[in-house]
Amino acid sequence: MLQTIQETATYLKSKMHTHPETAIILGTGLGSLVGEITDKHEIKYEDIPHFPVSTVEGHSGKLILGKLGGKDSLAMQGRFHYYEGYSMKEVTFPVRVMRELGIKTLFVSNASGTTNPNYSIGDLMIITDHINYFPEHPLRGKNIPYGPRFPDMSEAYDKELIRKADAIAAEIGVKVQHGVYLGTQGPTFETPSEYKLFRLFGADAVGMSTVPEVIVANHCGIRVFGISVITDIGVEGKIIEISHEDVQRAADAAQPQMTAIMRELIHRS
């Protein structure tokens, strides 16, 4: 495993002219951040040795190297979801490669349904903590010596970055929520009873990504900032039918605010 990660990193280093310490996983709601990257150099996932191969034809994804918020950055356009059939080792492989490349800070975004009655569609939620509800743990198996066998998770989302994001949101007049993100395997959206259960667990938002990558980043000593756009309501009595298109539409509408916060946060991080 370690050798595979290092081989991938060696290949990427041979293609890189910069030494970024910032990485971004461009999830739902952050697609337009790509347009803000300058001095771009793109590497298709399919050209990277050992990188997971996309299950969807024509959606292979790519790594984008360039400058964002004045910083040398590495962006992942396209992430690997557990529901697509990837193992947790594959889902989190790019984060381990980031560790080998010298990445110190990881920014992630996603879309989610809310279980919090005080949230609305289009709200941005800064992730303060998560609940791992995936059926497989990304660190299961032989420990890779990037971190301890039993990693601490008391501050999975960096408090200083959260403080900075709050300050930026206030400056630019964007309302942000703070909450707990629960990650499920998907691909179904939740039944009303599942949303109710997740609320009882302490979740404010539910989605199908992020948690595995954040766990592995923490294990690797990479600090994390995460933000979620609320695209649907999972609150008892308010639940309506939802489709992937609804999620996409709501995420697209919130995209300018999300992008503005991220760009400035990367600049100040």
| Ramachandran quadrant class, 29 (left: phi over 0; alpha: psi -120 to 50; beta: rest) | left
Q: By CB under 6 A, how many residues form the interface with ligand HPA?
A: 12
* Nearer to ligand HPA (CB atom), residue 143 or residue 191: 191
> Pick from 190, 180, 192, 251: which is nearest to 27 by CA?
251
Give residues with Cβ within 8 angstroms of 163, minimum separation 6: none
Q: Binding marks (x or -) toward ligand HPA, 56..95, rule CB under 6 A?
A: ----------------------------------------
Q: Could you say which residues in the range 186-215 bind ligand HPA, by CB under 6 A?
A: 189-190, 206-208
Q: Binding marks (x or -) toward ligand HPA, 104..143, rule CB under 6 A?
A: -------xxx------------------------------
Give residues with Cβ within 8 angstroms of 214, minimum separation 6: 106, 108, 130, 156, 157, 224, 226
217 binds ligand HPA (CB under 6 A): no
- Of the candidates 158, 204, 213, 232, which one interacts with ligand HPA according to CB under 6 A? 232
> Pick from 23, 33, 105, 71: which is nearest to 262 by CA?
33
Q: Could you say which residues in the range 13-32 bind ligand HPA, by CB under 6 A?
A: none
Binding residues (CB under 6 A) for ligand HPA: these are 111-113, 189-190, 206-208, 231-232, 234, 247
